[in-house]
Amino acid sequence: MRLGVRVVRRFKSPGDAATVELARAVELGISPSAGMSLLFPDGAEVTIARVRFRVPASPIGHGVQPVEVELIGCHEPSTRIEAALAAGWTRLEPAAVTAAPS
């Protein structure tokens, strides 16, 4: 069985104003856990800080709940961003902040 996951790499160095996040979809043969490292063909090694399982609000069928798996990597120095982009990682846009209803 193969598991499709989204890997999110986070980049920030001292003095940077914000964290930059890059993502890539991959297939794994095992269910990952925090502390594991993924080594990519371009030489990048991503240590998993957190595993996030997203379950949608409504099931797609009786008793069926699709799950999205997201692996959040530990922070890396921002000097690695350009190499990651060149290797095919995609920049994630910061989430929009919405005002709380009054």
Evaluate if residue 99 carries a pLDDT over 50: no
Contact 4, 20 (CB under 8 A): no
SS3 content of the chain, % helix, strand, coil (to 5): 10, 45, 50
Apex 45 CA angle, 72 and 29, nearest 5: 70
User: Which pTM was predicted?
Assistant: 0.79
Residue 16's pLDDT is what? 86
Evaluate if residue 94 carries a pLDDT over 90: no
Please report the sign of the dihedral spanned by the C-alpha atoms of residue 27, residue 29, residue 33, residue 35: negative
